[in-house]
Amino acid sequence: MTFAATLSASLAAVGVLLFLLRPRWRLSMAKHPSLQGHARIARWLGGRVPYYQYDEAHIFASDDAPPAIVERRRSAFDRLADLFHSRAPETIRSTDALATGVSDLQFTTAYRVPFQYRAYVNRRLKIGSLVQDTSGVLVTDLDGNPAYDLAGSYGVNVFGYDFYKECVDAGIERVRDLGPLLGAYHPVVADNVRRLKAISGLDEVSFHMSGTEAVMQAVRLARFHTGRSHLVRFCGAYHGWWDDVQPGVGTPGPARSVYTLKDLDEASLEVLRTRRDIACVLVNPLQALHPNAAASTDGSLVDSGRRASFDREWYTAWLQDLRRVCSERRIPLILDEVFVGFRVAYGGAQEYFGIAADLVTYGKTLGGGLPVGVLCGRSDLMKRFKDDRPADICFARGTFNSHPYVMGAMNEFLRRLDDSQLRRSYVDIDARWNERAAALNARLEAERLPVRFANLASIWSVCYTRPSRYNWMFQYYLRAEGLALAWIGTGRLIFSHDYSDRDFQAVADRIVAAARAMDAGGWWWHAPHLTNAAIRRRVLREMLAVRVRGAIRSRPHDPARSDREDRREARTAAPYGRGAHRETGR
Sign of torsion over alpha carbons 103, 109, 113, 114? negative
Domain-ending residue, one of 381, 397, 424: 424
193-217 mean pLDDT: 96
Helix, strand, coil percent content, the chain, rounded in steps of 5: 50, 10, 40
- Per residue in 340-360, pLDDT (tens digit) is 999 999 999 999 999 999 999
Using the 3D structure, point to which of 424, 452, 471 is the last residue of a domain: 424
CA dist 565 → 541, 544, 555 (Å): 13, 17, 14
39, part of any domain: no
Together in a domain, 84 and 105: yes
Rounded distance, CA 184 to CA 402, Å? 9
21 lies in some domain: no
On the question of pLDDT at 585 being above 60, the answer is no
Averaged pLDDT score across all residues of the chain? 89
Give the CATH number, domain containing residue 208.
Answer: 3.40.640.10
Residue 254 is predicted with a pLDDT of 75
Domain identity same for 245 and 355: yes
Residues 154 and 261 in one domain: no
Sheet strands side by side (includes 204-208) = 204-208, 373-377, 359-363, 333-336, 278-283, 230-234, 258-261
Q: For residue 68, what pLDDT band results from cuts at 50, 70 and 90?
A: very high
Q: Let me know if residue 164 belongs to a domain.
A: no
pLDDT class of 264 with cuts at 50, 70, 90: very high
pLDDT (average), residues 139-147: 98
Determine the Cα–Cα distance for residues 148 and 134; give it in Å rounded to an integer: 10
Q: How many CB atoms lie within 10 A of CB 400?
A: 15
Query: Rounded to an integer, what distance in angstroms lies between the CA atom of residue 334 and that of residue 260?
Result: 15
Contact 468, 396 (CB under 8 A): no
Look at residue 13 in the predicted model and tell me its pLDDT.
56
Is residue 344 a part of any domain in this protein? yes
pLDDT value, residue 352: 96
Q: Which residues contact residue 579 at a Cβ distance below 8 angstroms, ignoring those fewer than 6 apart?
A: none
Give the pLDDT mean for 466-488.
Answer: 97
Which of 49-63, 241-255, 431-445, 558-572 ranks highest by mean pLDDT?
431-445
- Give the model's pLDDT for residue 290: 92
**303 occurs within a structural domain:** no
pLDDT of residue 256: 80
Whether 195 and 65 share a structural domain: no
> Do 273 and 415 fall within a single domain?
yes
Q: Read off the pLDDT of each residue in 78-82 and give the average, rounded to a whole number.
A: 97
Q: What total of structural domains would you count in the chain?
A: 3
How far is it, in rounded angstroms, from Cα 113 to Cα 471? 10
3-state secondary structure labels for all residues of 320-358: HHHHHHHHHHCCCEEEECCCCCCCCCCCHHHHHHCCCCC
The rounded distance, in Å, linking the Cα atoms of 540 and 283 is 33
| pLDDT per residue as tens digits for the range 306-344 | 999 999 999 999 999 999 999 999 999 999 999 999 999
Half-sphere exposure (CA, 13 Å, Cβ side) for 561? 8
Q: Indicate whether 131 and 199 sit together in one domain.
A: no
Expressed as residue numbers, the domain containing 442 is: 56-158+428-520
Residue 98, domain CATH: 3.90.1150.10
Same domain, 225 and 369: yes
Say if residue 131 is in the same domain as residue 194. no
Residues 42, 576: Cα–Cα separation, whole Å: 20
**Whether residues 270 and 370 fall in one domain:** yes
- Specify the DSSP element, H or E, that contains 232: strand 230-234
Q: Which residue among 424, 442, 465 closes a domain?
A: 424
Residues 350, 279 share a domain: yes
Residue 178 belongs to some domain of the structure? no
**Domain assignment of residue 247, yes or no:** yes
**In this predicted model, what pLDDT tens digit does every residue of 484-516 receive, in sequence order?**
999 999 999 999 999 999 999 999 999 999 999
| 561: confidence class by pLDDT, cuts 50, 70, 90 | very low
Query: Is 182 contained in some domain?
Result: no
- At 467, the amino acid letter reads P
410 with 443, same domain: the answer is no
pTM over 0.85: yes
560 pLDDT above the threshold of 90: no
Residues 263 and 214 in one domain: yes
